Amino acid sequence: MASSAIITLDASCEAKLYTRTHESTVSRTASSFEEAACALKKAVPADQVSGVFILPHTDDNVDDEYNQKQMTRVLRAAGYTGIRVFDSLPFQYAMALSGSKIQCKEGDAVCVESIGTGGADQRLLKIFKKTVNGYEFVRTLSSPAQLRKTYPKLSKVIVDSPIKLPNGPKRRISDDYAPLKVNFVPASVKMRPYLWSLVDGDNFGGNLVSMDVRCEFQITFGECLIFAPARMDVVPWTNSINLDNEDADRIDVTITYKGKTKRFHFNGQERFVKLSLFLDDTCHPSAEVDVVNDDQMDGCEDPVGCNQM
């Protein structure tokens, strides 16, 4: 039977099903991930599923990695494959950009502030750059004053909020950004069109957002240091780098992931090697090295550059 649904499983064991036109809750009261996965399997068999997303994140992020492993395990046991981790940040900002209906040219910078994402005295202004397929995250600023100083030519500001802002707060925010005009949009949690956009491989009407996966590969060999950040929106992610390690007798790869560090050490390699970096469909990182011969190095470019330490 043709694929016709997307399924999701979150950290509270809530399971949902999304067709092209409707969404429904399959299980809200499951006591375990296993029970929720069984409910999903009864509701929609694997051969009718186009996409599988897990939402392992908790408010304090303490159990995220454990949840991710357990969710992946039970869904695979139920026959589901191609499991992806859903990241709420790209979704949140893509919905704000889409809801604003702003028109940008490639290279334009846009500021998006989501009310309620910072602490009581903290403001988080996210800067995005328009690309061919959507928007790419650039940096975070802390105030409209810093925005005007750092991006004097920026003209588009979007503010979204989980509640409808009264006129008073809207006026204060507008005054903060003056003379820039603020486009206020309500925060949206309508996941169905966004999920289908991810599954279909399109760019969500030109509003797909690319943000750091909070995973960075640091490669060290001899006097050379290379950084290779990975993006959440393209997992499973791979990057292969051809290296001339000259006289270095080892290659060290340090992976920073969700505040944790993993290290790989490759000893006794030949001079010319191919280093392959991986994030699997659950965002777990790994690395491997293969020896290549001299003629395979001709015309090869190091895609992330090399900085002398």
Give per-residue pLDDT as tens, 130-166: 999 899 988 888 899 999 999 999 999 999 988 888 8
What value does the CA radius of gyration of the chain take, rounded to a whole number of Å?
22
Quickly state the pLDDT bin for 216 (edges 50, 70, 90): confident
Q: DSSP secondary structure string, 104-149? A: --TT-EEEEEETTSS-TT---EEEEEE-SSEEEEEEEES-HHHHHH
pLDDT of 292 over the 70 cut: yes
- Answer yes or no: are the C-beta atoms of 228 and 254 closer than 8 Å: no
Query: Is residue 198 pLDDT above 90, yes or no?
Result: yes
Please name every residue paired with 189 in a beta bridge, in sequence order, or none if there are none.
none
Of residues 270 and 40, the one with the higher pLDDT is 40
The tens digit of pLDDT for each residue in 164-180 reads 888 999 999 999 999 99
Q: Using 50, 70 and 90 to split pLDDT, how confident is the model at 65?
A: confident
pLDDT recorded at residue 46 = 95
| Residue extents of the structural domains in the chain | 5-85, 88-209, 212-308
Helical residues (DSSP H) of the chain, grouped into ranges: 33-43, 64-77, 88-100, 144-150, 167-177, 191-200
Q: Which of 47, 42, 69, 54 is nearest to 7 (CA)?
A: 54
pLDDT value at 120 more than 60: no
Intra-chain end-to-end CA distance of the chain, in Å: 56
- pLDDT of 234 strictly over 70: no
pLDDT of residue 306: 42
User: What pLDDT is recorded for position 287?
Assistant: 85
For residue 297, the model assigns a pLDDT of 47
Q: How many CA atoms lie within 13 A of 207 on its CB side?
A: 19
What pLDDT was estimated at residue 242? 85
pLDDT of residue 188: 80
Q: How confident is the model at residue 59 (pLDDT cuts 50, 70, 90)?
A: low
Residue 41, CB-side half-sphere exposure with 13 Å CA sphere: 14
> What is 143-195 written as a DSSP string?
-HHHHHHH-TT--EEEEEESSPPPHHHHHHHHHHHTTSPEEEEE----HHHHH
Percent above pLDDT 90 for the chain: 50
- CA 153/CA 20 separation, integer angstroms: 40
pLDDT at site 303: 35
Q: Can you give the pLDDT at residue 284?
A: 75
200-212 average pLDDT score: 89
pLDDT at 55: 92
CATH fold, domain 88-209, is Nucleotidyltransferase; domain 5 (3.30.420)
Q: Which two tokens stand for residue 122?
A: 């903290």
Higher pLDDT, 212 or 227: 227
User: Is residue 117's pLDDT more than 80?
Assistant: no
Distances (CA, A) of 115 to 15, 126, 233, 277, 290: 28, 12, 24, 36, 48
User: Minimal CA–CA distance to 244: which of 266, 229, 224?
Assistant: 224
Q: Report pLDDT for 212.
A: 64
pLDDT at 302: 43
Number of helices (H) and strands (E), helices first, in the chain?
6, 19
